[in-house]
Structure 1
Amino acid sequence: MTERKPPGVSFESWIDKQIREAQARGEFAELPGAGKPLPHGNDTSYDELWWIKQKMAREGLSVLPPTLALRKEAEDALAAAAAAPSERVVRRIVEDINAKIRDVMFKPPPGPPLGLKPYDVEAVVREWREAREE
């Protein structure tokens, strides 16, 4: 594949010719996973960016700016508090996320504004208790 495309030949036909010749030489035989679909998780819906997302997950990269990541973390913290087994755990979860929110409020990182304020621990605990009584 080191040769250059001849002038006057379209890229598609030149590329097709290169692929055909490589196939004839057997360069595509014995490739790992040959004849199998590309792995893209167990999700039944197709996501055209699945391979990018897997690569970023393997590399530990985040696509969200820090403030948006904290918003997501805050949502997850409220969900975790709602499912917590005890009031003590609810308080710890909410106090931990409140500390992170306060840090960002006083030292904003680059990116969009956070748009959150610390949660009222007592209100979250009250909601947790009410959900347990139902």
Structure 2
Amino acid sequence: MVDAWEAAVEAQIRSAQDRGEFDNLPGLGKPIPGRGLPYDESWWIKSFLEREALPTDLLLPTPLQLRRRAEQVPDEVRDLPTEESVRAFVGALNAEIVAWLRCPSGPRVTVRPVNVDDVLRRWRAERELLAARRTTAATPARRDAPSGTRRRWRWPWRRDR
């Protein structure tokens, strides 16, 4: 029974070779990737994440994902246009954190809701700093020295003799 099955499989492989279905396969004539490396039991997960360009954070348990997202809040709200949008973003994250706190799963990691007022205070300070930079960049710089004493610009690799 097994011999008949193997013979049928071999016959299908031979007929596919005759039809040329194995010609021009990707990786033809190239060495097998990772052949000289030690065995890694999670190679398929790593190759999937790399092939699909997915972040490795997806492999973390839920509390660690929430903690990382809470740490990245200032960077994520930086470009939001209004306070309401900042409050909505932090509120959605806090809702996820509270939902996890009600029914925790995974490792026991301390995760606290994000303080909306602290995030807003920092967001406003960054906005004011950005606005101050824009106004200083928009106004031309005044020079106190007379225009006759201005130093001539030179190429850095040329020397005066």
Following superposition of structure 1 onto structure 2, how do residues 112-131 of structure 1 map, counting pairs within 5 Å?
112-131=107-126
What secondary structure does 1:51 align onto? helix
Q: Identity over the aligned pairs, expressed in percent?
A: 37
Following superposition of structure 1 onto structure 2, how do residues 1-134 of structure 1 map, counting pairs within 5 Å?
29-34=23-28, 51-54=47-50, 62-109=58-105, 111-134=106-129
Contact 2:66 2:111 in 1 (8 A): no
Instruction: Show CA shifts across 1:61-117 (max 9, x none).
Output: x421121122233334442122211111100001111111111112111x2223121
Aligned residues: 96
Question: Which of the pair has more CA radius of gyration?
Answer: 2
| Structure 2, unaligned runs of 5 or more | 1-20, 33-42, 130-161
- Cα RMSD of the aligned pairs, angstroms, is 3.4
Alpha-carbon distance between aligned partners in 1 of 2:31 and 2:49, rounded to the nearest angstrom? 18
| Structure 1, unaligned runs of 5 or more | 1-26, 39-47
Contact 1:91 1:121 in 2 (8 A): yes
Q: Under a length normalisation based on structure 1, what TM-score does the superposition of the two structures give? A: 0.55
